[in-house]
Chains A and B, each alone.
Chain A
Amino acid sequence: MTDLAFEVRDVSYRYQQVPALDGLSLEIRRGERVALLGANGSGKSTLLRLLAALHFPDRGDILYFGESLSERRLQDEEFFFRFRRRVGVVFQNPDIQLFNPSVFDEVAFGPLQLRWPRDQIRGRVYETLETMGISRLADRAPHRLSGGEKKRVALASVLVLDPEILLLDEPAAALDPGSQSQITDFLVSWGGGSKTVVTATHDLDTLEDIADRCYVLENGKVAGEGAPLAILHDVPLLERTKLVRPHHHVHDPSAPQPGPHPHLHRRP
């Protein structure tokens, strides 16, 4: 069996007229933590949806452990359940993801759809709520949660399935710094580091904690690839892909660049 969780080969995708991905290729190895960086509209969310087999490429191919992810393949019930069981997605907008009448029902939805034995579900749901620190919200309706609570519930609703591959779309966006670091810490320690985690983000501050490797996307293409530190040092790439603000002062190209870019260091 191949060690590549996902292999994206020259994939293009467009929404009606709007091109979102344009000949994109990348690889995600099993057990690896990969960050997808890119400005707004660069195609991060679209890529995650293709990896989750929610959209299918117009051109090109996506291989999941060597098997092509096609609409046909997903029709096969056995493959569908195996895939959904192992690949979890947390969407960018938690309002979309929380469609059940209560937090408990929300977290129980996945296990129920995947036909887990009923007597295990209740216990497993409470366990997950406990781990995420949201047990007291079990009976709440999703429209009465704060943004951060919604994110946690969305995360819990996916983690309850204990997926091997987790696709996260800006998990820490719209959170206060406290919850942000809590969520990040949780994800860093989750699964003892054996899980495959793909995170779409434009937050450069936590990059080193959440990723072993990054891809930088620009206009639906890969514009750069490398270890977090290398990417953080590649200022021209970051400026070109609008991940940092272009500088107003003029750089002296001959002067040595001391360490990481000063603007990126906001963490204590």
Chain B
Amino acid sequence: MHIPDGYLSPSTCAGFYAASVPFWYAALRRLRHALHTRMLPLLSVFSAFSFVIMMFNLPLPGGTTGHAVGMGVSAIVLGPWASILAISIALVIQAVFFGDGGITAIGANCFNMAIAGSLVAYAVYRVAAYRAAIGSTRRVVAAGLAGYLAINTAALLAAVEFGVQPLFFHDAAGSPLYAPYPLAVSIPAMMIGHLTIAGLAELIISAGLVAWLQRTDPGLLERTAPDAAAGPSVRKLWLGLAVLLVLTPLGILAVGGAWGEWSARDFADPQVRRQIAAASANHAPPQRAPSGLQRLSTIWTAPLSGYAPAFIRNAPIGYLVSAAAGTSLILLCGLLLKQLLPDRRRRRKTFIEKTTTTLARALQHAFFAEETANSGGFLQRLDPRVKLVGIGSLIAATVAVHQLWMLAAILALAVVLARLSRITLRNLSTRVWIAVLVFTGAIALPAIFLTPGEAIYRLPVLGWPVTSQGLRSAALLFLRAETTATLSVLLILTTLWPHLLHALRFFRVPVVVVVLLGMTYRYIFLLLETAREISESREARQVGVMQPADRRRLAAATAGVLLSKSLWVSGEVHMAMLARGFRGEVYLLEDLRLRWNDWLPLGALTAIAAAAIWFGR
């Protein structure tokens, strides 16, 4: 769900930044006018809460665990506008500090999860809860529904963003330059996970937390329930929920099929064919450029060769089957890589142990970042604004260039910078490279077979063709993801967070946003510690084997305790701010001058980025 750097083209990223800015602006304006001073701490603590909730491993039916985003409960408690800000702030901190989601993709991620997610959650909740009493079961169900639909809307948006990349961004030979799969594959691949795992996680968290608030702090549910009264019975809503749960996958598949057709036609487009022909001038162009989907269906039928019944080769079934084949190939690769690569210790752990591990790792990462940021290497000595612009433009260059050798060169530069800044290769590989290998590797690998183009090798037995376009596309995606992840970790490992925040002011980021980022970050640590304490103590108490339903209830209660703590913290922080003269406006002490010796590295880094873009086109 968190789109990394390198999966979306620069123009897509820019487009989503541009699409998100009006929402952020409107949200900020509304908050300034409509709400009292309590909003600032409430927002930042909620944002920290949503950050921590994203680290919760929620137990789901079937023995799996999933993560929620928390957009459901935040839209219900804060209202849609404040929720947009709260989730966006959490996503920004995740991207910048923890490398979860790309920096260039912040616009898209915020659009999907914070903006669309909050608005959908709010609308669904308001409609489904209608006028039910604050304490009614109907509100709990409505909250679950809101969370479920919100996260699936966000996932569908992300899937479409992925799916259109190969249509618009491919080189002359037909290699996709960014996310390699067409809509017919990207939609089911994203939606299968979200309609089941992540959707359920969000459903449990939203419903569980609203039920929790009904008991502990019902006043907080009143903001988004202006006309609550004794409402109609809950049964009809359950029915609606059940129908929706059944219908959505079908709907998605139907929609996916429709788009799949569109993409297939595009791939069969004569102009694209001509381009392919022009690029491979020495080879005789194939009579009929194989479309992505036809290629997929040949993968499906290849091992069956002549034995496959004819109806499998007919178009609509071919689409469905090929989409399923592509999707399962991606899922399979993910599973395989997870099995093969480290973290074997993590298997067979309970969800609470997993959560504790995740939380501990986040804390550890932050401590490590502060250590290295204080250790006085080359990048550590640069002004934070220089680093923000310099490394930022290198990341932009990485996303923009189309040549593999140029990506390798930027990666090499990043490694040199890391070594100059006392960051070891070992640290880079454990903190960045392996994680990217598992995640992007799993996504990139199937593209080798699925991308239409010239077959340069056939897998023995299976007969799957490896295409040169596929190889290039997978390599581009993989190198891009590794390079951008390395660069962004360089920024955070060499810059103290407060300095980075001050640097943001230099770029005219509104003071409120800078303060929100600062407070959220601060309270993330308080809540991480609290969450760890809660889950550790529960872990100690719950030695015996629990029923799955009890486990879910326990997870929701843990999140509930955390929510109560968050709300309490936000109230107390508000007091502490008032006591020191806070009246709703915040001020920062800023020093906006750049020293002359900052200009040299700034110029060098941006010049390198510009040259990379020029020569790596």
Q: Which residues of A contact B (CB under 8 A)?
A: 49, 52, 54, 77, 80-81, 84-85, 88-89, 91, 93, 95-102, 104-105, 108-110, 112-115, 118, 121-122, 139, 141-144, 157-158, 161
Which residue of the partner chain, among B374, B521, B569, contacts A96 with CB atoms under 8 Å?
A: B569
Asked if A142 and B522 sit within 8 Å, CB to CB, the answer is yes
Please give the distance in Å from A49's CB to the nearest CB on chain B: 7
Question: In whole angstroms, how far apart are the Cα atoms of A89 and B525 in the complex?
Answer: 24
Asked if A84 and B577 sit within 8 Å, CB to CB, the answer is no
Asked if B581 and A121 sit within 8 Å, CB to CB, the answer is no
* A101 and B498 in contact, given A118-B589, A143-B522 (Cβ under 8 angstroms): yes
Residues from chain A with a CB closer than 8 A to the CB of B526 are 95, 143
Asked if A105 and B581 sit within 8 Å, CB to CB, the answer is no
Asked if B572 and A91 sit within 8 Å, CB to CB, the answer is yes
Task: Output the nearest chain B residue to A158 by Cβ-Cβ distance.
Answer: B580
Question: In whole angstroms, how far apart are the Cα atoms of A237 and B611 in the complex?
Answer: 81
Asked if A108 and B583 sit within 8 Å, CB to CB, the answer is no
Residues from chain A with a CB closer than 8 A to the CB of B579 are 52, 54, 84, 88-89, 91
Task: Output the nearest chain B residue to A113 by Cβ-Cβ distance.
Answer: B581
Which residue of the partner chain, among B367, B518, B573, B581, contacts A84 with CB atoms under 8 Å?
A: B581
Please give the distance in Å from A144's CB to the nearest CB on chain B: 6
Residues from chain A with a CB closer than 8 A to the CB of B370 are 141, 144
Instruction: Tell me if B575 is interfacial: C-beta within 8 Å of chain A.
Output: yes
Asked if A105 and B576 sit within 8 Å, CB to CB, the answer is no
In the complex, which of the residues B521, B572, B581, B582 has the most CB atoms of chain A within 10 Å of its own CB atom?
A: B581
Question: In whole angstroms, how far apart are the Cα atoms of A133 and B580 in the complex?
Answer: 22
Instruction: Tell me if B588 is interfacial: C-beta within 8 Å of chain A.
Output: yes
Question: In whole angstroms, how far apart are the Cα atoms of A112 and B585 in the complex?
Answer: 10
Q: Mark B513-542, 1 if CB is under 8 A from A, else 0.
A: 000001101110110010000000000000
Residues from chain A with a CB closer than 8 A to the CB of B576 are 89, 91, 96-97, 99
Question: In whole angstroms, how far apart are the Cα atoms of A199 and B617 in the complex?
Answer: 68
Which residue of the partner chain, among A113, A115, A118, contacts B580 with CB atoms under 8 Å?
A: A113
Q: Mark B561-584, 1 if CB is under 8 A from A, else 0.
A: 000000001001101111111110
Asked if A114 and B581 sit within 8 Å, CB to CB, the answer is yes
* A105 and B580 in contact, given A99-B523, A113-B587, A141-B498 (Cβ under 8 angstroms): no
Instruction: Tell me if B41 is interfacial: C-beta within 8 Å of chain A.
Output: yes
Asked if A101 and B580 sit within 8 Å, CB to CB, the answer is no
Instruction: Tell me if B132 is interfacial: C-beta within 8 Å of chain A.
Output: no
Task: Output the nearest chain A residue to B523 by Cβ-Cβ distance.
Answer: A99
Q: Categorize the interface residue count of chain B.
A: 20 to 34
User: Which residues in window 170-210 of B have CB below 8 A to A?
Assistant: none
Instruction: Tell me if B501 is interfacial: C-beta within 8 Å of chain A.
Output: yes
Residues from chain B with a CB closer than 8 A to the CB of A112 are 586-589
Please give the distance in Å from B560's CB to the nearest CB on chain A: 18
Asked if A101 and B577 sit within 8 Å, CB to CB, the answer is no
With A99-B573, A101-B522 known, 11 other A-B pairs at CB within 8 A are: A89-B579, A96-B575, A99-B519, A101-B497, A101-B498, A108-B589, A109-B580, A113-B581, A142-B522, A143-B525, A144-B370
Would you mind naming 25 contact pairs between A and B with Cβ atoms under 8 Å apart? A54-B578, A54-B579, A77-B583, A88-B579, A89-B579, A91-B579, A96-B575, A97-B576, A99-B576, A100-B498, A101-B498, A101-B518, A101-B519, A105-B498, A110-B580, A112-B586, A112-B588, A113-B586, A113-B587, A114-B581, A115-B587, A121-B589, A122-B589, A141-B522, A143-B529
Which residue of the partner chain, among B518, B577, B582, contacts A105 with CB atoms under 8 Å?
A: B518
Please give the distance in Å from A170's CB to the nearest CB on chain B: 15
Which residue of the partner chain, among B521, B572, B581, B587, contacts A81 with CB atoms under 8 Å?
A: B581
Asked if B522 and A139 sit within 8 Å, CB to CB, the answer is no
In the complex, which of the residues B499, B569, B572 has the most CB atoms of chain A within 10 Å of its own CB atom?
A: B572
Residues from chain A with a CB closer than 8 A to the CB of B583 are 77, 80, 113
Which residue of the partner chain, among B41, B575, B587, contacts A54 with CB atoms under 8 Å?
A: B575
Residues from chain B with a CB closer than 8 A to the CB of A96 are 569, 572-573, 575-576
User: Which residues in window 482-518 of B have CB below 8 A to A?
Assistant: 496-499, 501, 518
Residues from chain A with a CB closer than 8 A to the CB of B581 are 80-81, 84-85, 110, 113-114
Task: Output the nearest chain A residue to B580 by Cβ-Cβ distance.
Answer: A110
Residues from chain B with a CB closer than 8 A to the CB of A80 are 581, 583
Question: In whole angstroms, how far apart are the Cα atoms of A102 and B589 in the complex?
Answer: 12
Please give the distance in Å from B57's CB to the nearest CB on chain A: 23
Question: In whole angstroms, how far apart are the Cα atoms of A110 and B586 in the complex?
Answer: 10
Please give the distance in Å from B473's CB to the nearest CB on chain A: 41
Residues from chain B with a CB closer than 8 A to the CB of A158 are 580
Q: Mark B349-375, 1 if CB is under 8 A from A, else 0.
A: 000000000000000000100100010
Question: In whole angstroms, how far apart are the Cα atoms of A141 and B518 in the complex?
Answer: 10
Residues from chain A with a CB closer than 8 A to the CB of B501 are 101
* A141 and B575 in contact, given A84-B580, A84-B581, A113-B587 (Cβ under 8 angstroms): no
Which residue of the partner chain, among A85, A100, A110, A113, contacts B522 with CB atoms under 8 Å?
A: A100
Please give the distance in Å from B384's CB to the nearest CB on chain A: 12
Question: In whole angstroms, how far apart are the Cα atoms of A158 and B577 in the complex?
Answer: 11
Residues from chain A with a CB closer than 8 A to the CB of B522 are 98-101, 141-143
Task: Output the nearest chain A residue to B45 by Cβ-Cβ distance.
Answer: A99
Which residue of the partner chain, among B374, B496, B572, contacts A93 with CB atoms under 8 Å?
A: B572
Question: In whole angstroms, how far apart are the Cα atoms of A100 and B586 in the complex?
Answer: 12
* A139 and B498 in contact, given A77-B583, A99-B522 (Cβ under 8 angstroms): yes
Please give the distance in Å from B372's CB to the nearest CB on chain A: 14
CB-CB nearest 8 A-B residue pairs: A113-B581, A143-B525, A102-B498, A101-B518, A101-B498, A110-B580, A112-B587, A96-B572
Asked if B496 and A99 sit within 8 Å, CB to CB, the answer is no
Which residue of the partner chain, among B41, B575, B582, contacts A113 with CB atoms under 8 Å?
A: B582
Residues from chain A with a CB closer than 8 A to the CB of B374 are 139
